[in-house]
């Protein structure tokens, strides 16, 4: 059963409009979550805003957003002032432009969402927009208020639906050249390159979601199950520093030959 949509509105391209629904493409519902308790009483601990100077609790109606102008100097912005600079519509994805799919680097992608027609009447309009983007290799760019913030979004055709990616803001992505320019541009020796290619081929496998499983989550569930039954898990053995802290390889050729010689050994299992 498909999860209930968290957003409903309209997809619009010029005069073509249809009702659509959207849900997050990822979920954290299965993650182990904890409550913070007062160990002495067993009661849950709640968090509250307090005045940083007086220490007194601040009621919700007294909370205000403010922009810092200097030390202990803030400019208060009222809710209606903030609303005035936001998009007029929070329920319409109006595709403003299209760009080639491969011109947007992965680093700009933020959060994916599934976009679907909200009713059978809009399926034809939805499908023609989706198929036209797929046929031309283009993705749509629009703006939308999501999670109480105005965001640029990218619409990407995927199967029978559309993926809506929220995009990172321009000032959130650091310039890679500032970090990569100091790396020397020397080409590796052909023989070393060939050995690494062989190592890559030997370790190549088909993609499977189990490859990105969360072993810490599995161990947490084991711990919780053991405590429910009144058992204590054995203490975790301490790893030796040499085993966990690899150093720089001095002789790359020897290291690669040893890696390839271990070809017959079983690859480490992933939980």
Query: pLDDT per residue over 250-259, tens digit each?
Result: 577 787 778 7
Query: For the chain, how many structural domains are there in total?
Result: 1
The predicted model gives 117-133 an average pLDDT of 94
Cβ(172)–Cβ(111) under 8 Å? no
Write out pLDDT tens, residues 17-59.
999 999 999 887 778 888 899 999 999 998 889 998 899 999 9
Q: CATH no. for residue 147?
A: 2.40.290.10
Confidence of residue 271 (pLDDT cuts 50, 70, 90): very low
* pLDDT on residue 129: 96
Cβ(11)–Cβ(123) under 8 Å? no
Decide which of 148 and 168 is more confident. Answer: 168
**Is 176 among the domain residues?**
yes
State residue 173 phi and psi, 5-degree precision. Answer: -100, 120
Write out pLDDT tens, residues 53-87.
899 999 988 998 898 888 888 898 888 887 777 66
The predicted model gives 152-172 an average pLDDT of 94
**Is 223 among the domain residues?**
no
CA angle, corner 199, sides to 194 and 204, nearest 5?
125
What range defines the domain where residue 11 resides? Answer: 1-26+74-206
Would the pLDDT of 247 be above 70? no
**Is 137 among the domain residues?**
yes
Helix (H) or strand (E) holding 247: none
3-class secondary-structure state, position 151: strand
Q: Which of 213-217, 240-244, 252-256 has the lowest mean pLDDT?
A: 240-244
pTM here is: 0.70
Would the pLDDT of 145 be above 60? yes
**Is 269 among the domain residues?**
no
The predicted model gives 107-119 an average pLDDT of 94
Cα dihedral 25, 31, 35, 39 in deg (nearest 10)? -160
**Is 163 among the domain residues?**
yes
Decide which of 264 and 261 is more confident. Answer: 261
Mean pLDDT across the chain: 83
Q: Whole-angstrom Cα distance, residue 263 to residue 202? A: 8
**Is 238 among the domain residues?**
no
Q: Whole-angstrom Cα distance, residue 251 to residue 192? A: 11
**Is 202 among the domain residues?**
yes
Contacts of 119 (CB under 8 A, 6+ apart): 19
């Amino acid at each position: 059963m498909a999860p209930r949509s968290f957003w409903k509105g309209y997809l619009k391209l010029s005069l073509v409009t249809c009702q659509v629904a959207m849900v997050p493409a990822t979920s954290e519902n299965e993650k182990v979550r904890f409550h913070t308790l007062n160990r002495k009483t067993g009661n849950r601990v709640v968090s509250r805003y307090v005045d940083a100077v007086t220490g007194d609790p601040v009621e919700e109606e007294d909370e205000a957003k403010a922009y810092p102008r200097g030390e202990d100097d803030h400019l208060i912005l009222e809710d209606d002032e903030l609303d005035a600079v936001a998009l007029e519509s929070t329920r319409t994805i109006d595709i403003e432009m299209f760009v080639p799919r491969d011109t947007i680097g992965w680093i700009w992608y933020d959060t994916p969402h599934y976009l679907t027609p909200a009713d059978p009447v809009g399926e034809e309009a939805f499908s023609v927009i989706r198929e036209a983007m797929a046929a031309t290799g283009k993705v749509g760019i629009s703006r939308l208020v999501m999670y109480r913030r105005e965001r640029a979004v990218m619409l990407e055709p995927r199967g029978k639906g559309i993926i809506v990616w929220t995009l990172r803001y321009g000032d959130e992505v650091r310039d890679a050249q500032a970090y990569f320019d100091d790396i020397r541009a020397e080409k590796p020796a052909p023989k070393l390159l060939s050995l690494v290619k062989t190592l890559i081929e030997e370790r190549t496998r088909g993609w499977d979601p189990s490859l990105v499983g969360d072993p810490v989550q599995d161990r947490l569930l084991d711990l919780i199950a053991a405590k429910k039954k009144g058992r204590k898990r054995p203490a975790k053995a301490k790893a030796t520093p040499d085993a966990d802290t690899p150093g720089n390889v001095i002789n790359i050729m020897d290291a690669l030959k040893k890696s390839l010689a271990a070809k017959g050994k079983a690859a480490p299992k992933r939980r």
